[in-house]
Structure 1
Amino acid sequence: MVGRDTELKSAGRPRDPEADEAILRAALELFAERGVDGTSIEQIAKRAGVARLTVYRRWSSKEELLAQAIAYGRNAPDLTDEEYDTLPYPEVMARMLGSMADSIADRKLAPLMAQLMGSTFSHPELFDAFWAASGAKRREGGVRLVRRAIREGMLPADADPEVIVDIIIGSLFYRMLVPPRHDDVGEYVLRVLRQVGFRLTP
């Protein structure tokens, strides 16, 4: 977590994980409710039950804190570098399907992502901070998994990993932001993967 760690060290006070989590939760809730302009460090500190100085010591800006909070809210575990290449692909696929289905089904996540997308032009520094904290790594992981699927015959040899990831992410964002009808979330994810050419068994 990026913040003013040098100040903490000079003050001799260790980080309090419970305070960190309380601040992140408060930032997450306020951002989902009010957006960037409606959220302040003072409001976050008050909701988290900490002093403003506690927040300022940990994060250098509101945008940095909000980006970390969004990454914290999207807490689905990532695969390790080794797991991307060594886990049997059916297990990788099961974990990927589960993560995508959970994201779509999580109605708390949709307002967060809607606020984030809405602030892309008005507060580009927020999206840049989120991308550096979480988004870029997740996208790189998706591209890596698609490349492995091509190598193992689950996708055509001429498939474009970057475009396939864009299609999958775009479909999932749309489904997340447009409330589900009566279809099964897991089945929807499978339909998306089939439409981009996945064979779910090699």
Structure 2
Amino acid sequence: MTGTQPAGRPRDPVVDQRIAEAAIGLFGEQGWAGFSVEAVARRAGVGKASIYLRWPTKQALLLEALRRHVQGVAEVEASDVRDELVQLGMQLMRHYLGEAGRAALRISVEADHIPGVAEHWATIRESRVLAARAIVRRAIDRGELSDATSVTLLLDTLCGAVMNHVQATPEAARAKLLPAGESYVVRLVDFLLPRTPVPGR
């Protein structure tokens, strides 16, 4: 729910973007407990009135920031399951290491306790789950994976490992993670996928 367009002078999209960036940065650092319109205004270099003209509540402000900076996983499709899982893993790696990475990690934990934001995050979460599960289902249909493959366990391991890899890396070393990220994701996917042909295929 974004604020309504105020009468008079048109809104400046540059200011809108600066406020949204300040909001996503503050939430990433402080979480919901430290999130306030006053703090966002100071960080963005604008008055509180400028924010309230755009978004009537701090929930609406955070929701707009999330809409701009924390997106769902794009659907991937390649010639085989290995390439698709590598693409998925790299999307997650870039997601958590991007400018909104801290906010993405926090919202995954705090969203259910923020009225008006929980529903938006649930939609993003569902889109991620569906896109990821489609990868494994296609692989089963193509005969690359056994019918007995646990979709949940495979994806939990891949997605959880990427998130843990980012979180477990000291802040000072995270800048080096993305350049080496593909190598990590490739090794992770190779570890997860079966090394023998699927029986009966």
Give your verdict on TM over 0.5.
Answer: yes
Distance verdict in 2 for CA 1:165–1:92, change over 3 Å = closer
Q: Which amino acid aligns with 2:146?
A: P
> After the TM superposition, which residues 42-53 of structure 1 pair with which residues of structure 2 at under 5 Å, given as runs?
42-53=38-49
> After the TM superposition, which residues 90-169 of structure 1 pair with which residues of structure 2 at under 5 Å, given as runs?
92=84, 95-103=87-95, 106=97, 108=99, 111-117=102-108, 119=110, 123-125=113-115, 128-132=118-122, 134-169=124-159
Distance verdict in 2 for CA 1:37–1:194, change over 3 Å = same
Q: Distance in 1 between matches of 2:160 and 2:135?
A: 17
Q: Gaps spanning 5+ residues in structure 1: where? A: none
Q: Deviations over 1:33-64 (max 9, x none)?
A: 22222221122123223343443344353234
Aligned residue pairs: how many? 189
1:192 to 161, 177, 188: 188
What SS class does the counterpart of residue 92 from structure 2 fall into?
Answer: helix
Distance verdict in 2 for CA 1:94–1:140, change over 3 Å = same
Q: Which amino acid aligns with 1:119?
A: E
Q: Distance in 2 between matches of 1:13 and 1:162?
A: 52
Q: Which amino acid aligns with 2:94?
A: D
Q: Which amino acid aligns with 1:194?
A: D
| Aligned alpha-carbon RMSD (Å) | 3.7
Higher-Rg member (1/2): 2
Distance verdict in 2 for CA 1:171–1:124, change over 3 Å = farther
Shift of 1:69: 2.6
Q: Distance in 1 between matches of 2:132 and 2:194?
A: 14
Aligned to 1:175: 165
Distance verdict in 2 for CA 1:133–1:24, change over 3 Å = farther
**Could you list the runs of 4 or more consecutive aligned residues of structure 1 that deviate by over 4 angstroms after TM superposition?**
12-15, 87-94, 107-110, 180-183
Distance verdict in 2 for CA 1:172–1:94, change over 3 Å = closer
What SS class does the counterpart of residue 119 from structure 1 fall into?
Answer: helix
TM-score by length of 1: 0.69
Distance verdict in 2 for CA 1:154–1:35, change over 3 Å = same
1:31 to 14, 27, 31: 27
The percent identity for this pair of structures is 26
The answer to whether the 8 A contact 1:63-1:129 is kept is: no
Q: Distance in 2 between matches of 1:165 and 1:179?
A: 21
The answer to whether the 8 A contact 1:116-1:127 is kept is: no
Distance verdict in 2 for CA 1:175–1:91, change over 3 Å = closer
What SS class does the counterpart of residue 78 from structure 1 fall into?
Answer: coil
Distance verdict in 2 for CA 1:131–1:94, change over 3 Å = same
Shift of 1:31: 1.5
Q: Gaps spanning 5+ residues in structure 2: where? A: 196-201
